[in-house]
Amino acid sequence: MQLTAPKFDDAEIDQLRDCLNSGWVTQGPMTQKFEELIAKRHGVKHALATTSCTAALHLATMALDLRPGDEVVVPAFTWVTSAHCAEYVGAKATFADIDLATFNLDPAAFEAAITPKTRAVIAVHLFGLAAPMNEIREIASRRGIAIVEDAACAIGTSYRGQPVGGLGDIGCFSFHPRKVVTTGEGGAVTTNNDAIAAIVGSVRNHGAGGPRIIDDEGAGPWTMASYDRLGYNLRLSDIQAAVGVAQMGKLDALLEERRGLAAAYRKRLSGISDIVLPTEDAGHSYQSFVIRISDGGRKRRNAVMAAMAERRIQTRPGTHAVPALGYYREKYGIDPGQFPNAVRAEDTTITLPLFPGMKMSDIDLVVETLSKALASL
C-alpha cells in the first residue's frame, strides 16, 4: 500500500489540452489563473507561482532583504529547507523547540531563541496543522520580527477560521506530489504586501523590472525589460499550472475525503495506548497523518515500521530534527539535545498511508498491522 498518491482524471487532461492548444506553455495565462485561484482561496492580494516551495522560501528571504549577520528562528522539527532558506542568503538559521502535541513551533521557545540579530521567524504549519499564529504574531510584532509562513503542507489549512498564507508577512506553499494539491513540482508565494509581491515577481523572473528606455529613443518593438537586481529563473510553467488549475477545482473534495479518512483512523486507533494521535483541529488539512509511539523510542518505532513494510505498507518518519543534521550540527556546533521535543518527534513518529481513493479496508489493514506490531514489540 502506497503512502500517498495524487488524484488525476480528465480534468487535468482537459486543462493540459487547452494549454497545449494555446501554444503558450511557459509562465503565462494559465499560471495567472492558477495564482488567482490560490489567492482567492487563501484570502490574499497576491499569489506568485514558483518552481517549488524551496524556491518560494528562498524568494521570501530575499524579499525581506535578509543578509549575513541576520538570524532567522526556525522550528527544530521540520523539513530541512525551512532552515536552508535563511542560509541561502547568508543569514543564520537558529532553532527553537516544538510543542510535542502539535509538532509546531512552541511560542515560548521561539521567544527564548530571539536575539538582537533576529529578523524573521519561519512559522511552519506542519503536516497541515496551523502553527499557533496568534502567539507567534504577538511575539513577532512586539520584537519587530517578520513572519514567513512555511505552508508547504497547508494548502486548504485554516487557523481559527482564517486561511493560512496571509497571517504573516509572506506565505510559501508546495505543490509536490505528496501535497493535497500537486503540479508535479511547484510552489507559490502569497502576501498582502505590494512591495514584497513586486520583489518576488521580479526575482523569480531573472530580476526583470519595467521597460528599459534608452536616451530619447522612446518605446517600441526594440524595448526590453530593465534588470536592476539579481534574479533567478524560478517561474512555474503554464503546463504545470494547467494541472494546478484542475487540482484546485478538486480541493474541497480532496480535503473532505482526507478529513474523513483521518477521522476513521482516529476512531480505530483511539483505543491503542501505545500511540499518540495527531492534534484534532477543524482547520487541519491532513497533508499527512502522523502518529507518535509513546514508549520504546527510535528502536521500537523502527521495528514497527519494519513490520508494516513486511505487509507492503509504506510508512515514513514524520520529518527531521534539523539541528541533528550534519550541516547544522557541524557548522554551528549544535547539540541536538537542546531540542528534546524535536529529537523525540524524529525518533518516534510514523506517517501512515493517506491518499485519495483509500478504502476503509485499507485503513483496517494499516491499523491491524500496526496494532499487532506494537503488541509484539
Q: Name which residue leads in pLDDT, 229 or 222.
A: 229
Q: How far is 175 from 287, CA to CA, in rounded Å?
A: 11
Radius of gyration of the chain measured on its C-alpha atoms: 22
206 pLDDT higher than 80: yes
CA within 13 Å, CB half, 301? 23
Residue 72 binned pLDDT confidence (cut-offs 50, 70, 90): very high
The x, y and z cell numbers of residue 83, run together, are: 532552515
What percent of the chain stands above pLDDT 90? 93
pLDDT at 139 over 90: yes
Residues 269-294 as b/e (b if ≥16 CB within 10 A, e otherwise) read beebebbbebeebebbbbbbbbbbbe
Which amino acid makes up residue 282?
A
Lookup result for grid cell 491499523: 367
Q: Residue 63: exposed, middle, or buried by beta-carbon count in 10 A (0-12, 13-18, 19+)?
A: buried
Backbone angles phi, psi at 181, to 5 degrees: -115, 135
Q: Is 96 helix (H, G, I), strand (E, B) or coil?
A: strand
Q: Which residue has the cell 505543490?
A: 175
DSSP H stretches of helix in 155-277: 194-203, 238-248, 251-269
* Stronger pLDDT, 228 or 104, i.e. the higher one: 104
Q: Which of 227-231, 293-297, 319-323 tops mean pLDDT?
A: 319-323
Q: Is the CB of residue 104 less than 8 Å from the CB of residue 124?
A: yes
- Give the whole-angstrom CA distance, residue 89 versus residue 70: 10
Confidence of residue 62 (pLDDT cuts 50, 70, 90): very high
The model's confidence at residue 249, banded by pLDDT at 50, 70 and 90, is very high
**Beta carbons of 20 and 199 less than 8 angstroms apart:** no
Whole-number pLDDT of residue 217 = 80
Local confidence band at 230 (pLDDT 50, 70, 90 cut-offs): very high
**pLDDT at 306 > cutoff 80:** yes
Pick the range with the lowest mean pLDDT from 57-71, 86-100, 214-228. Answer: 214-228
Please give the mean pLDDT across all residues of the chain.
Answer: 96
- Confidence band of 169 (pLDDT split at 50, 70, 90): very high
For cell 509562513, name the residue.
149
Segment 45-60 shows an average pLDDT of 98
What distances in angstroms separate CA 302 from CA 209, 221, 223, 266, 284, one per listed residue?
Answer: 52, 63, 61, 22, 27
pLDDT at 101 over 80: yes
pTM value is 0.96
Give the model confidence (pLDDT) of 347-375 as tens digits.
999 999 999 999 999 999 999 999 999 99
**Per-residue pLDDT at 95:** 98
Q: What are the catalytic residues?
A: 179
Tell me: pLDDT of 209 over 80.
yes
With contact defined as beta carbons under 8 Å apart, do 123 and 105 qualify? yes
210 or 87: which leads in pLDDT = 87
Q: Which domains does the chain have, with CATH numbers?
A: 10-248 (3.40.640.10), 251-376 (3.90.1150.10)
pLDDT at 218: 80
User: pLDDT, tens digit, for every residue of 10-36?
Assistant: 999 999 999 999 999 999 999 999 999
Parallel, antiparallel, or unpaired for β 92-96 and 146-151? unpaired
